[in-house]
Amino acid sequence: MNSGQTIEHFLNALWLEFGLSDNTLSAYGSDLRLFVKWVKEKDLTAVDEACIKDFLANRQQQGITSRSSARILSCLRRFYGYMLREGKISVDPTQLIDAPQLGRSLPGSLSEADVELLLQTPEISDMLGFRDRAMLEMLYATGLRVSELVELKFSQINFRQGCVRIVGKGDKERLVPVGEEAMDWAERYLNGARQVTLGNRQSDYLFVTARGSCMTRQAFWHIIKRYAQLAGIDKHLSPHTLRHAFATHLLNHGADLRVVQLLLGHSDLSTTQIYTHIAQQRLKALHTQHHPRG
């Protein structure tokens, strides 16, 4: 079996065993193919610890971040763990390699005033502008991942109950409440601009492009950046900026960390705990304001 087939078998095993998302599997596949190029003609079963350390050092010299380096090591650990279970190797070469130290920094976010500016930027007299406004409203109101938003289907939204049903990472399902403002924009878009955009065509997706198809994550990310620029928001943005703003603003207004965990779809509270210091700052402010000796 060649290296390409071995990688495909490994990715299939990951999908079956852990239900990892297509994006994660694609990243793992890319990392492993880079690793195969690095080891060249060397058999993957003959790779040792020194070879992996050299590969990681080379990737860091190419300018990748510590977080990306940690992801690559995680991929290689899973791969060689799989090879060990399959009896292809007798020793895991990644076993004694330490992961790079990562800081738990809070993702970049926007203030509530910034969000208001961003939401009001799309030109709603234009059909696609109205769609963009509805998408931004939905994204901020729910904290969905961008991939979850662009793939949102009409059947997943319940206008009567005011919620959306999301199947997130690992095929885990969650119900996310949607505020009246965002729901109103979605309903007006559904009954207006969407129908005009589609014409006689049919689509299962709630938010559609001018071609009547589902938008890509990359396309919507460019839309967010364009509107941020038009709004004069000079801050570092990421595809999940509004998701982080959603979580940050909930906590600022007194939401419980575990509630935010459920809404974001984090399987582990430790993932949500990057926001802990926000809750701590709010508690400190409340103590200072209300305690007799604050």
- CATH code of the domain containing 49: 1.10.150.130
Structure confidence by residue, pLDDT tens digits, 83-112: 999 898 998 998 888 766 544 444 556 888
**Has residue 8 got a pLDDT over 70?**
yes
CA 150 to CA 132: how far, in whole Å? Answer: 11
Question: Catalytic annotation on 266?
Answer: yes
Question: Catalytic annotation on 275?
Answer: yes
Residue of 169, 174, 217, 282 with catalytic role: 169
CA 117 to CA 10: how far, in whole Å? Answer: 46
Query: Would you state the structure tokens that stand for residue 44, as one six-digit string?
Result: 């993957």
CA distances for 25 relative to 18, 35, 267, angstroms: 11, 15, 18
On whether residue 99 sits in a domain, the answer given is no
Band (267; pLDDT cuts 50, 70, 90): low
Residue of 59, 133, 249, 266 with catalytic role: 266
Q: Among 68, 85, 102, where does a domain finish?
A: 85
CA 38 to CA 41: how far, in whole Å? Answer: 9
Question: Catalytic annotation on 145?
Answer: yes
Question: Catalytic annotation on 169?
Answer: yes
CA 157 to CA 155: how far, in whole Å? Answer: 6
Q: What is the reported pTM? A: 0.60
CATH number of the domain within which 250 lies = 1.10.443.10
Q: CB-based contacts of 109: which residues, under 8 Å, 6+ apart? A: 241, 244, 245, 248
| pLDDT score of 271 | 53
- Residue 63's domain comprises 3-85
**Has residue 234 got a pLDDT over 90?**
no
Q: Are residues 138 and 257 in the same domain?
A: yes
State whether the Cα torsion 25-30-31-32 is positive or negative: positive
